[in-house]
Amino acid sequence: MFYALVSALTQQYLKVRQQYRHAQALWSHRRTGPDALPDPRFILFGRGRSGTTALLSMLDDVPALHCEGEVLHNYVRYPYRHVLGRSVRPAAPGYGCKILSYQVQDVQTALDEPEAFIHRLWEEGGFQILYLRRTNLLRHALSNIRARREQFHQKKDDIPAEAQALRVDPDRVMDWIRSSEALGAYEKRLLEDVPHRSLTYEKHIRNPEAHQQTIDDICAYLGVESVPIESSYRKIAPPSVREGVANYDELVRRLRETPYEKYLEEQD
């Protein structure tokens, strides 16, 4: 009961803090003209568990950029003005933040036209869009399941721990895959007619050797100078589904003859 009370109080505190920040953002937006907004400014858009935290952490190491996390994690009354207002006083010339697709679809219910929101941020707000997705829907599903049981990433100065194989409910895995697939289709609609830089976890985040080139390319896209960076997170998940799932054979039987069977042996 004690832990439930602490959890409830924590959630209430986070909601109050978000509304306080919303009030600050609205005030900043109201008293600041367009010329005072940071340049460049960008949105990192996508799904959770797709490498967005790692990428934003690396971009925050670039002196020309100040990056925030999920600015729309909780409901706000005026989402568009909230994002603009949050960008007003960055600690660097440029600004970036993260918006996840489920937050547009399910959390920000005050939006009159949710599917036009990203387009509006680009066209009216002047935000450039970075779109990061994970192509292996099975690994994405397992990442979500693992994240709810244990810490899936560690900070760079933590001692790495060996990830344990998960025992999963194959039907639950299928639910996660289909949910991710549906969000992917939703993201495609939100990005329609919106110029953006497309990135994938598998190509740009999974391999640490790709990180510097990824940041260099993004900085060139945003028009800022790049610097040597170091990722703030280490992957500790098993390199294959076979190693990461304790009841692998059961999962194989469930995925057999489905479009998702191809993901089983892909390395992560």
- Neighbouring CB atoms inside 10 A of 268's CB total 21
Q: What is the pLDDT of residue 152?
A: 44
User: Residue 5: pLDDT band by 50, 70, 90 thresholds?
Assistant: low
pLDDT number for residue 239? 77
Give mean pLDDT, residues 89-104. Answer: 93
- Domain regions of the chain by residue span: 21-28+36-263
With cut-offs at 50, 70 and 90, classify the pLDDT of residue 7.
low
257-261-197 Cα angle (round to 5): 130
Q: Tell me the pTM.
A: 0.87
Which of these ranges, 59-73, 119-133, 134-148, 152-166, has the smallest mean pLDDT?
152-166
Which pLDDT band holds residue 160 (cuts at 50, 70, 90)?
A: very low
**Residues 6 or more apart from 137 whose CB is under 8 A from it?**
177, 180, 181, 260, 263
pLDDT above 70 for 153: no
Cα angle at 194 between 190 and 198, to 5 degrees?
Answer: 85
Residue 242 has pLDDT above 60, yes or no: yes
What share of the chain in percent tops pLDDT 90?
72
Tell the residue number behind the tokens 């953006």, with chain if given. Answer: 196
Average pLDDT on 45-72 reads 96
- How many alpha carbons fall within 13 Å on the CB side of residue 58? 26
The reply to whether CATH 3.40.50.300 applies to domain 21-28+36-263 is yes
Rounded-to-integer distance, Cα 100 and Cα 183, Å: 10
**pLDDT at site 10:** 67
pLDDT at 79 over 90: yes
